[in-house]
Amino acid sequence: MSDALDALVEAAPDGVECDGLRVEPTDGDAFRVETPAGAETVAAADLRAALVEHGPYVANWYHWRRTVADRSPDRYAFLRGIEAADERPAPERHATLREGGVEREWGDLLVTARLAADAPTPGARRYDLRPAADAGTPAAELTTYDDPLALREPTTYDDRGRYRPLRTAPSLPTGWACPDLGARDLVEAVEVVYPATVANWHREREGDLDVTHWDETAARQTGIYGIVSELPDEAVGWVAEACCVDSQCLKRREWDRSADDPLAAGRGEGASPCREPCSLVVAAARRWTTLEREAARTYEFELTPSEKEQVEAIVEAVAEGRTDEMREADVYEGANRYRARYLRAKRFDETGNLSGTPTDAADDEHGDEH
């Protein structure tokens, strides 16, 4: 604390203000010291002694103005946001940081901030970063990392070993932690797991987020992706509904068809904004553009009312990723595996056609050949 007191006394002639603490020179050789609890005017010679009574405020000032500072505005804002520094008084925050820590979720991540024990600088924080699903699990039971860049490998695949093409998908693997990070390494680790989310969150807060809407994104595609500019207007909304919701991506969609043509699809609730259609959306839209070129046809199938509802339940379960939740014994669930196999046995022919109805004329001819 001695270093913090010396630094604050040195800075006092230029005025100091941080999270409720204000120190400013007055007429004569004196200073006004103010906190939410009150104010007093003290002689310059007595300033250091007066500041001792405001230890949490002094340590808080030293941490934010000298240790972290604001050389990187997005990092500074993110770290303050973790402990709600703009909303909670410094003494209250310091007590919480000392006793059990302050937690904040960022997507599927959990960040816990604590006051560092025996820190060389007053008020220094240390951070624990891990999947929110591993909250409360002792670090000794997890694979731990010290280097933020080391998180690239364990977060590339989900818990079932499947590649994660979208880094912000809600499929973050569990079983790991970075239990003792400094401020700079914490933000770097978060950006490794969820690239650009901190930077774009801050840019949005500052009113500087540049959004690239669908029309502009589609117009700049070349090669095999050039056809996405032909996707029908209404289909762009279906793309957003399919890909850009909380169950598929943890960012909040801010792009629309164009600046003047908002999409009706939900935007999601994520803390970090999505400023343009991502490469996964463009790749999927390429396939949907091709499919939308097909002319609609009328097919006639024979299904019981329960079978129709079962087909709808199967599509819903697949679309929402709930097929793994279906218990084998629960044959009352439409997407149950045995129910689906029964429906296939009853309504599909040996070539896989529903009710024996071919998809097109070529199927008819193909079937006749056999």
The string of pLDDT tens digits covering residues 134-167 is 999 999 999 999 999 999 999 999 999 999 999 9
Residue finishing a domain among 205, 233, 256: 205
d(CA 167, CA 155): 8
- How many CA within 13 A on the CB side of residue 47? 27
Decide: 30 and 43 in contact? Cβ < 8 Å.
Answer: yes
Taking 70 as the pLDDT cut, the residues of the chain under it are 1, 119-121, 361-370
One domain, residues 159 and 262: no
The vertex-362 CA angle with 357 and 365, nearest 5°, equals: 85
Domain contains 298: no
Per-residue pLDDT at 108: 97
Sheet containing 21-25: which strands, arranged edge to edge? Answer: 16-18, 21-25, 30-35, 38-43
Domain contains 174: yes
One domain, residues 136 and 182: yes
Domain contains 97: yes
Per-residue pLDDT at 366: 43
One domain, residues 196 and 75: yes
CA 199, 201, 205, 210 dihedral sign is positive
Domain contains 300: no
The string of pLDDT tens digits covering residues 36-46 is 999 999 999 99
Domain contains 92: yes
Domain contains 296: no
CA 337, 319, 168, 136 dihedral sign is negative
d(CA 116, CA 97): 9
User: What total of structural domains would you count in the chain?
Assistant: 4
Per-residue pLDDT at 92: 93
Q: Can you list the positions of beta strands (E) in the chain?
A: 16-18, 21-25, 30-35, 38-43, 102-106, 109-115, 125-131, 143-144, 176-181, 252-253, 273-274
d(CA 27, CA 43): 11
Per-residue pLDDT at 357: 86
One domain, residues 258 and 238: yes
Per-residue pLDDT at 67: 87
Per-residue pLDDT at 368: 39
One domain, residues 347 and 251: no
One domain, residues 78 and 198: yes
- Give the C-alpha distances (Å, rounded to integers) separating 101 from 78, 98, 139: 16, 6, 15
Q: What is the CATH number of the domain that holds 266?
A: 3.30.70.2320
Q: What b/e string do you get for 192-230 counting C-beta neighbours within 10 Å, with b at 16 or more?
A: bbbeebbbbbbbbeeeeeeeebbbebbeebeeebebbee
One domain, residues 182 and 79: yes
One domain, residues 91 and 192: yes
d(CA 286, CA 221): 10
Residue finishing a domain among 291, 322, 355: 291
One domain, residues 243 and 342: no
Written in H, E and C, the secondary structure of 201-241 is HHHHHCCCCCCCCHHHHHHCCCHHHHHHHHCCHHHHHHHHH
d(CA 33, CA 185): 35
Residue finishing a domain among 233, 262, 291: 291
Domain contains 299: no
Per-residue pLDDT at 332: 87
The string of pLDDT tens digits covering residues 63-114 is 999 888 877 899 999 999 999 999 999 999 999 998 989 999 999 999 999 9
Q: What is the CATH number of the domain that holds 126?
A: 3.30.1360.190
Per-residue pLDDT at 120: 63
Q: Which domain holds residue 56?
A: 2-62
Domain contains 352: yes
One domain, residues 98 and 158: yes
The residue behind tokens 């970090």 is: 272
d(CA 11, CA 257): 52
| Gap between the terminal Cα atoms of the chain | 88
Which pair of tokens denotes residue 158? 């989900």
One domain, residues 185 and 254: no
Cα–chain-centroid distance for residue 348? 43
Per-residue pLDDT at 119: 63
